[in-house]
């Protein structure tokens, strides 16, 4: 292990963000990095727990204690090898993972100062690219072909693993560029797109075929197995009065458009959503909402407000979600929030108010939450209503399920009662050589979870294809 007593003398040190006044003017990544010596010191704080809760909390099962130790020892290459053995794309997760590991770190419990696991992870990944530890693999082909539909984190992971195993993998992507949510959903200031491109290029070099701009409504012929990783793209709507007013958008439409623009992809002027000088209201207090806040601020909105229907969570520690929960319900202040945003809680939206078809504001009502008889929280309206002025509203209330039209219907895949694709323990769908993974099977969730599912599906496909003779 690192240094058994380091945690007693060294405090948690985050690299932090670039200064607000600087970062709001561009879409470059906001997070900074520590110098190597500080980074190694941070890694030394890991206590190599007998029961590493971080490792348990990580959907990928990353072996944090092992690579923290290696970072502390300056063995970056070995650290990368251990990291890569569980996590295909640490350069992504190291940037955008909400880090359940840190929430479950024993030092979180002990001193509220978890090890900077996520930052250490990205350091390892960047060091590996920089020092050339990452080499192009040229796997020996086994003659079998797999199609992966969808190039989000789940699809990419499955493709990567299968390719390394010798399968000839073709990844189909409906958008113009590969990466799915990583490419279009996450703002550049959190994940720069050259990072995504670097990985896709590497995969291409290793032999993965990417067919972008290809909408798949029917499974293509000529593959031994299929991996469906189309995500859960249908957003939750807010069907209240005035919903069709101009100026109300789904968050993802807004975010993806901004990413396209930055990529130099043209957007029809009529479709352009620009917050410059506008009053922006984001409905939904989650990460997507926060991303809209950051984007709107960069577009120089005049005012940004974010509302959430639930109560304001406590700051720091919430006894209702004790350690080692991976998702403590505590107030989360993202870099985007710091950049300027009014945040309000316990507000439900009653109607959109417009003038001549153009959005002017939203009527909201204060609510309270009480525990019902069944133990669930129940919402009570208070009657206290008010109007929040807004020129633009972004609906960021989550996603419900994968798009049903097209592939799911044409392939006659069974879906569950939440309209996600049904799979068995080995990730197999109702159709014999069709597997599915990621949000398409679970509903929207974390990137790491999608990657874990992609990895396990690849394993399942491999054992399926190794067991049958073609």
Partner 1 sequence: MKERSHFNNEKGLYNFSYEHDACGVGMLVNIHGGKSHEIVESALKVLENMQHRGAEGADNKTGDGAGILLQIPHEFILLQGIPVPEKGKYGTGLLFLPKDEKLQDVVLSILIEEIEKEGLNLMHLRKVPVNSSILGADAHSTEPDVRQLFITGCTDQALLEKKLYLVRKRVEKKIQQTEAVIKQDFYIVSLSTRSIIYKGMLSSMQLRHYFPDLTNNYFTSGLALVHSRFSTNTFPTWSLAQPFRLLAHNGEINTVRGNRGWMEARESVLNSPSLGNIEDICPIIQPGMSDSASLDNVLEFLVASGMSLPHAMAMLVPESFNEKNPISEDLKAFYEYHSILMEPWDGPAALLFSDGRYAGGMLDRNGLRPARYLITKDDMMVVASEVGVMDFEANQIKEKGRLQPGKILLVDTEKGEIYYDGELKKQLADAKPYRTWLANNRVELDELKSGRKIEHKVANYDRLLRAFNYSREDIEKIIIPMSSTGAEPISSMGNDTPLAVLSSKPQILYNYFRQQFAQVTNPPIDPIREELVMSLVEYIGAVGNNILVPDEMHCKMVKLNYPILSNTQLDILCNIRYKGFNSLKLPMLYEVAKGKEGLREAIAHLCKLAEQSVTEGVNYIILSDKNVDTKFAPIPSLLALSAIHHHLVSVHKRVQTALIVETGEMREVMHAALLLGYGASAINPYMAFAVLDDLVKKQEIQLNYETAEKNYIKSICKGLFKVMSKMGISTIRSYRGAKLFEAVGLSEDLSRAYFGGTTTAIGGIGLDEIAEDSAALHHEAFGNDIDDILPNKGIYSYRKDGEQHAWNPETISTLQLATRLGSYKKFKEYSKIVDEKEEPIFVRDFLEFKRNPISIDKVEPAENIMKRFVTGAMSYGSISKEAHETMAMAMNKIKGRSNTGEGGEDAARFTPLENGLSLRSAIKQVASGRFGVTTEYLVNADEIQIKIAQGAKPGEGGQLPGYKVDDVIARTRHSIPGISLISPPPHHDIYSIEDLAQLIFDLKNVNPKAEISVKLVSESGVGTIAAGVAKAKADRIVISGAEGGTGASPASSIRYAGLPPEIGLSETQQTLVINSLRGQVTLQTDGQIKTGRDIVMMAMLGAEEYGFATSALIVLGCVMMRKCHMNTCPVGVATQDEELRKRFHGKHEYLVNFFNYLAEEVREHLAEMGFTKLDDIIGRTDLIVRRTSYTNKKFETLNFSRLLHMPEQASTTAIHHVAKQDHNIESVKDREIIIQASPAIQALKEVSLDYTIANTDRSVGAMLSGVIASKYGNDGLPDDTLNIKFKGSAGQSFGAFLSHGVHFKLEGEANDYLGKGLSGGRISVMPPIRSTFIAEENTIAGNTLLYGATSGQVFINGRVGERFCVRNSGATAVVEGVGDHCCEYMTGGRVVVLGSTGRNFAAGMSGGVAYVWNKNNDFDYFCNMEMVELSLIEENSYRKELHELIRMHYYYTGSKLAKTMLDSWNKYVDQFIQIVPIEYKKVLQEEQMKKLQQKIADMQRDY
Binding site for partner 1 (CB under 8 A): 4-5, 7-8, 47-53, 55-57, 61, 63, 65-66, 78, 81-82, 85, 104, 106-107, 109-111, 322-324
| Residue with Cβ nearer partner 1 (52 or 361) | 52
| Residue with Cβ nearer partner 1 (114 or 185) | 114
Beta-bridge partner residues of 359? 354
| Residue with Cβ nearer partner 1 (48 or 311) | 48
| Residue with Cβ nearer partner 1 (47 or 413) | 47
Nearest to 281 by CA among 357, 395, 397: 395
The three-class DSSP label of residue 91 is: helix
What minimum distance in Å lies between the beta carbon of 319 and partner 1? 9
| Residue with Cβ nearer partner 1 (165 or 279) | 165
With beta carbons less than 8 A apart as the criterion, state whether 237 and 243 touch: yes
| Residue with Cβ nearer partner 1 (109 or 330) | 109
What minimum distance in Å lies between the beta carbon of 26 and partner 1? 39
Residue 178 gets the label, from left (phi > 0), alpha (psi -120 to 50) or beta, of beta
| Residue with Cβ nearer partner 1 (61 or 286) | 61
CB proximity list for 125: less than 8 A, separation 6 or greater:
80, 83, 89, 90, 91, 94
Beta-bridge partner residues of 399? 235
Distance of CA 398 to CAs 22, 175, 235, 394, Å?
Answer: 30, 21, 6, 11
What minimum distance in Å lies between the beta carbon of 5 and partner 1? 6
| Residue with Cβ nearer partner 1 (277 or 322) | 322
Distance of CA 214 to CAs 78, 159, 168, 178, 219, Å?
Answer: 39, 17, 18, 11, 12
What minimum distance in Å lies between the beta carbon of 453 and partner 1? 15
Both structure tokens of 397:
């209330």
Q: Report the distance separating Cα 324 and Cα 394, nearest Å.
A: 33
Q: What are phi and psi of 48, to 5 degrees?
A: 50, 60
CB proximity list for 373: less than 8 A, separation 6 or greater:
none
Strand (E) or helix (H) holding 405: none
Burial tier of 166 (Cβ tally within 10 Å: 0-12, 13-18, 19+) = middle
Q: What are phi and psi of 57, to 5 degrees?
A: -75, -20
Q: Report the distance separating Cα 386 and Cα 394, nearest Å.
A: 19
Q: Report the distance separating Cα 79 and Cα 67, nearest Å.
A: 5
What minimum distance in Å lies between the beta carbon of 420 and partner 1? 25
Helix residue ranges per DSSP H, 287-384: 287-298, 335-338
Q: Report the distance separating Cα 448 and Cα 61, nearest Å.
A: 10
| Residue with Cβ nearer partner 1 (3 or 212) | 3
| Residue with Cβ nearer partner 1 (38 or 113) | 113
Rg (CA), the chain: 23
């Amino acid at each position: 292990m690192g240094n058994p007593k380091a945690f007693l003398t060294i405090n948690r040190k985050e690299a932090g963000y670039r200064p607000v006044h600087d970062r709001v003017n561009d879409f470059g990544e906001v997070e900074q990095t520590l110098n190597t010596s500080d980074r190694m010191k941070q890694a030394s704080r890991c206590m190599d727990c007998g029961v590493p809760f971080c490792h348990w909390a990580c959907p990928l099962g990353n072996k944090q204690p092992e690579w923290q130790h290696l970072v502390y020892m300056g063995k970056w290459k070995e650290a990368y090898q251990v990291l890569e053995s569980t996590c295909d794309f640490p350069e992504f997760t190291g940037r955008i993972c909400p880090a359940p590991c840190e929430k479950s770190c024993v030092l979180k419990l002990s001193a509220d100062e978890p090890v900077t696991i996520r930052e250490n992870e990205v350091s390892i990944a960047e060091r590996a690219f920089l020092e050339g530890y990452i080499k192009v693999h040229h796997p020996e082909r086994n003659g079998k072909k797999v199609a992966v539909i969808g190039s989000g984190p789940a699809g990419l992971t499955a493709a990567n693993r299968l390719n390394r195993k010798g399968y000839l993998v073709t990844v189909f992507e409906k958008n113009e560029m590969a990466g799915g949510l990583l490419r279009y959903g996450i703002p550049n200031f959190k994940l720069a797109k050259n990072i995504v491109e670097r990985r896709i290029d590497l995969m291409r070099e290793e032999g993965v075929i990417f067919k972008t701009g290809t909408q798949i409504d029917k499974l293509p012929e000529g593959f031994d197995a299929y991996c469906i990783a189309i995500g859960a793209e249908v957003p939750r709507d807010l069907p209240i009065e005035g919903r069709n007013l101009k100026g109300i958008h789904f968050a993802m439409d807004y975010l993806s458009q901004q990413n396209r623009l930055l990529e130099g992809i043209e957007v029809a002027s009529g479709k352009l959503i620009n917050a410059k000088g506008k009053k922006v209201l984001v409905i939904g207090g989650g990460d997507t909402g926060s991303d809209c806040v950051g984007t709107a601020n960069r577009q120089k909105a005049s005012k940004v407000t974010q509302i959430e229907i639930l109560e304001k969570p406590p700051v720091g520690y919430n006894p209702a979600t004790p350690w080692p929960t991976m998702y403590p319900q505590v107030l989360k202040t993202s870099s985007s929030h710091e950049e300027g945003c009014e945040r309000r809680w316990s507000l439900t939206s009653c109607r959109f108010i417009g003038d001549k078809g153009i959005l002017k504001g939203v009527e909201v009502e204060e609510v309270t939450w009480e525990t019902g008889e069944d133990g669930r929280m129940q919402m009570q309206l208070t009657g206290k209503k008010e109007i929040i002025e807004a020129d633009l509203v972004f609906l960021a209330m989550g996603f419900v399920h994968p798009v049903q039209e097209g592939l799911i219907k044409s392939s006659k895949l069974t879906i569950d009662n939440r309209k996600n694709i049904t799979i068995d323990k080995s990730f197999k769908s109702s159709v014999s050589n069709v597997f599915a993974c990621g949000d398409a099977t679970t509903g929207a969730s974390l990137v790491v979870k999608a990657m874990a599912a992609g990895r396990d599906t690849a394993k399942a496909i491999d054992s399926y294809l190794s067991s049958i003779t073609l």
